[in-house]
Structure 1
């Protein structure tokens, strides 16, 4: 019957649908069971997220506000993904574990004033930095001379000016070693050089040669050049030296970068960089051989380096993520106290009792600073004397009035003497105080050269780190390598003690100017990152930041300040990869 047949088909269809529904429900139930088992299984192994490196059982000083201490770090793709307790991170993350057994971890150090290629070249040449007596100095120069072929220049560096009275040795000492050798010996301060007669003759420097406007040719009683050249007078010989090859610059950069890594340094402001130096850094970075964050303060007014045009400064790179940024420029205001070329408000007590020297006239400086500030160029100033510091601040005040919206973070380096009236101007103008704290103790330069030149009151006021910090200035630390050691821990110790970290001279240089360990760690980490416009990338150990860090052989907070400089660097990581030791 048609009706029966249709009913049968309907019944079959209904039964088929019921079976399909039953199967669907069973399948869904099965899938839910599998999912539950999977969740249970994941829960049983902790649901651990993969990372590249898990640092555990460490004393991690994060420099991160109200969370200063942790035990562990999780790192993936060069970034920190978690900071916390060891057991929590071991539970939550899976990766290669590095058990530091209580060793201290800090953000990688920022050296806010160094000369990497220049310093590397000095190490490749005749290095005099270890010589502490005149006899040893001359013996080393003689040994370097013996190693050279006839006709080659002897170029040396690291000569300690305090070894000679008035920092003014005669060319005859070099002539006695080899009267035919052209010798050019750079002072450790970078502002004086000592040349042999053959070198002076080759450069055409004679009694009738006038002093450059911003330099001094030291002379004897008959006006003959004595052998020492100050400031831009050095360029009279520098310009006739053999050219440095591209290969030598690359080698020098590699040497210096390796040295920086061995000191726990992962970020550097390279001061007075030349175009040739910048190309060497770019080449290393392109080869993945740099592993260092660099801000290049290109040389604009450069008595000691080849001239780099303003076009070398690339303002657009200031906030880029690239390792090498040409976003800054360096300007020299004055010279140094040792050569009586630092610009002082009150006169020197020796020599011609003058006020020192200005590398750039005040009116020209202000005009240039206002223009560079308007163009967005971050400026780094060399200023030793209190008049030089004031001149830099005056120019920056004019720039702030002309260009009020800029956030360029200009900084003044050295600050050996700063008039107290100028202390609050740093915070008011947003100027960063870039100290070389390793100089802040009574060494031979201060006691044998500076003390007679400026008197006890001004010596006691030197390197006012504490005063500027209390006045609200942001403090950063720089080595000025190769003028002095690149080791940040030596500088940190000296800033705390104001004493010789080697223990040779026990007295302090105005202990009231000391600062705390936490202050100096900030100076070498987050404050350095701020100066480099990287405070949202580096300088702290927190999630999202670059995994640039240093492992120390002891917890600095558990040591006497006088022990800090002896702490070994155990390891340096750049973006989570070990760069020291190799």
Structure 2
């Protein structure tokens, strides 16, 4: 039996270095020397010789939002270049003028300013056509009056939500600025055509491959409602989805969990799998909505927003997910959110006896030492963001004001999880992070800073080594996905997913890593991206 491909180069399988890999039908059939590999091929075998470059197992993203990312790239107003509310208004105005005739305008990637956004600012662009601008972290949205009317946003929301979620002016009138659940719910109501959703996914896939990502986690697969799931299913059925995609959906009640299990049974396949449910336990520090154990420094007696605090329901959801072979993925930023979620999930896991449910907590900005230890004990996967660890000027100012210097300095533990025996994975939360970069993530995990914007290192005692970083984006992420027997390392019988760089991550100087150049991305033995 001849091989489809032979791949040559400086290959790091994760356990050892070899010269060659042979592939048949997308599966690795041999790992070892060139001498033996050449005996397994014939004139029909494709030779992929990468010379002195370095080959690694395909890298994987532990928590991102690929569909919105692709939609932003192809169909949305990108506010990334702005710095003030006035900038965002001007960028939006220019986009509307250049794209006349639309019935709805959406934008993304604005950051917090010292001012508070108001509908009237966007009404200067259009009072009649809805405009909705989402923050870079996805936790807040800014609407003009037409969008507020379109979504039925009125004072009745204040019967359910606080003014930290539904913001008001000095007279108590709604400003058009929403955070957390009411903001997130609006995005799922913005109607996208099936064609636009599919195209957005293909844009995301192409971008992911260009960044060395061969598999990714969609942290809220129904971001634009259930049609988002159909878009994944349609592309995978048509053979166009090659980025292995693992997904969760935010749920609120038992019916949501059962519906998701039903969809998983219907749609799961090799390239798209619904793996579990997601729970937003709290918000984010910069929006003043992370759930803390100790009060906010600037607002005595305030501990943040408890986006989900029904303990019994979380226990029930975890047990129900287990019954349907699914896991629970929790958004946990503050230490209050981590403790609450950990209490509930540990009770459920004890009840089911399943300590291998692959439950995970993402973000983990503030975690007590006791809960770091407990997460490892209960085998709950820490999905951590190396790119968020530095002291970035605008963000760190808010953290100092809200958290105080001690909490702000000690954010984002990583090494402590490893020391307790946990399997950490990395995430960018892209497009919440402004970039998706494996080299920068590795560098940030080691140096607790990055090189693409001015910043200082933070909490260096949580620095880890390059090998631990590589495991976090390969075999550990495969474990998170329940795919460690098929992905995450280069072994016989595993899927032939690889990435090729010009850099030896393990032996080159750490300062070279941020500039590492991706040469190729290989999926199922075939080159899906080539840096020409």
The number of equivalent residue pairs is 520
Correspondence 1:111 to 2:61: yes
How large is the RMSD of aligned CA atoms in angstroms? 2.4
Correspondence 1:218 to 2:167: yes
Correspondence 1:260 to 2:208: yes
- Superposition map of 1:394-405 within 5 A: 394-405=343-354
Correspondence 1:523 to 2:475: no
Residue of structure 1 in register with 2:232 after alignment: 281
Aligned match of 1:454 in 383, 397, 403? 403
TM-score under structure 2 normalisation?
A: 0.91
Correspondence 1:291 to 2:242: yes
- Superposition map of 1:359-374 within 5 A: 359-363=307-311, 364-374=313-323
Instruction: Give a deviation string over 1:220-275, Cα, whole Å, max 9, x none.
Output: 1111222311112226755764x211111111111111111111111112112123
Asked if structure 2 preserves the Cα contact closer than 8 Å seen for 1:442 and 1:500, the reply is no
Asked if structure 1 preserves the Cα contact closer than 8 Å seen for 2:292 and 2:335, the reply is yes
Call closer, same or farther: CA 1:194–1:315 in 2, change over 3 Å. closer
Residue 535 of structure 1 and its aligned partner are, at CA, apart by 0.7
SS of 1:554's partner is coil
Correspondence 1:565 to 2:514: yes
Instruction: Give a deviation string over 1:474-494, Cα, whole Å, max 9, x none.
Output: 101122122112222221211
Distance 1:155 1:177 in 2: 13
Asked if structure 1 preserves the Cα contact closer than 8 Å seen for 2:3 and 2:40, the reply is no
5+ residue gaps in structure 1?
1-48
Residue 199 of structure 1 and its aligned partner are, at CA, apart by 2.4
Aligned match of 1:61 in 6, 12, 25? 12
Correspondence 1:189 to 2:137: yes
Instruction: Give a deviation string over 1:319-346, Cα, whole Å, max 9, x none.
Output: x872222231111111111111111000
Correspondence 1:157 to 2:108: yes
Distance 2:203 2:102 in 1: 27
Residue of structure 2 in register with 1:50 after alignment: 2
Call closer, same or farther: CA 1:235–1:527 in 2, change over 3 Å. closer
Residue 188 of structure 1 and its aligned partner are, at CA, apart by 0.6
Distance 1:540 1:63 in 2: 6
Call closer, same or farther: CA 1:134–1:315 in 2, change over 3 Å. closer
Residue of structure 2 in register with 1:418 after alignment: 367
Instruction: Give a deviation string over 1:27-77, Cα, whole Å, max 9, x none.
Output: xxxxxxxxxxxxxxxxxxxxxx62111122x1211113xxx2112211121
Q: Which moves more between the two structures, 350-359 or 216-225?
A: 350-359
TM-score under structure 1 normalisation?
A: 0.84
Distance 1:350 1:518 in 2: 40
Distance 1:88 1:130 in 2: 53
Asked if structure 2 preserves the Cα contact closer than 8 Å seen for 1:170 and 1:227, the reply is yes
Call closer, same or farther: CA 1:355–1:119 in 2, change over 3 Å. same
Distance 1:235 1:107 in 2: 35
Residue 211 of structure 1 and its aligned partner are, at CA, apart by 5.2
Instruction: Give a deviation string over 1:290-341, Cα, whole Å, max 9, x none.
Output: 1122222123139xxxx955222259869x8722222311111111111111
Higher helix fraction: Structure 1 or Structure 2? 1
Asked if structure 1 preserves the Cα contact closer than 8 Å seen for 2:65 and 2:219, the reply is yes
Residue 354 of structure 1 and its aligned partner are, at CA, apart by 0.6
Correspondence 1:96 to 2:96: no
Q: Which moves more between the two structures, 491-500 or 523-532?
A: 491-500
Distance 1:428 1:501 in 2: 35
Correspondence 1:533 to 2:485: no
Distance 1:425 1:577 in 2: 42
Aligned match of 2:79 in 125, 128, 133? 128
Call closer, same or farther: CA 1:257–1:211 in 2, change over 3 Å. farther
Residue 414 of structure 1 and its aligned partner are, at CA, apart by 0.5
Distance 2:118 2:90 in 1: 16
Asked if structure 2 preserves the Cα contact closer than 8 Å seen for 1:60 and 1:70, the reply is yes
5+ residue gaps in structure 2?
none
Distance 1:79 1:327 in 2: 23
Aligned match of 1:386 in 335, 338, 341? 335
Call closer, same or farther: CA 1:101–1:200 in 2, change over 3 Å. same
Distance 1:447 1:156 in 2: 25
Call closer, same or farther: CA 1:247–1:345 in 2, change over 3 Å. same
SS of 1:105's partner is strand
Distance 2:467 2:83 in 1: 34
Asked if structure 1 preserves the Cα contact closer than 8 Å seen for 2:443 and 2:510, the reply is yes
SS of 2:370's partner is helix
Residue of structure 2 in register with 1:436 after alignment: 385
Call closer, same or farther: CA 1:107–1:573 in 2, change over 3 Å. same
Distance 1:151 1:545 in 2: 47
Instruction: Give a deviation string over 1:74-94, Cα, whole Å, max 9, x none.
Output: 112111111123344235544
Distance 1:515 1:201 in 2: 50
Asked if structure 1 preserves the Cα contact closer than 8 Å seen for 2:443 and 2:450, the reply is no
Call closer, same or farther: CA 1:51–1:207 in 2, change over 3 Å. closer
Larger Rg: 1
Asked if structure 2 preserves the Cα contact closer than 8 Å seen for 1:466 and 1:513, the reply is yes
Distance 1:259 1:323 in 2: 17
Residue 131 of structure 1 and its aligned partner are, at CA, apart by 3.0
SS of 2:321's partner is helix
Asked if structure 2 preserves the Cα contact closer than 8 Å seen for 1:489 and 1:564, the reply is yes
Asked if structure 2 preserves the Cα contact closer than 8 Å seen for 1:341 and 1:357, the reply is yes
Distance 2:4 2:86 in 1: 54
Correspondence 1:576 to 2:525: yes
Distance 1:500 1:554 in 2: 17
Q: Which moves more between the two structures, 545-554 or 487-496?
A: 487-496
Residue 209 of structure 1 and its aligned partner are, at CA, apart by 4.8
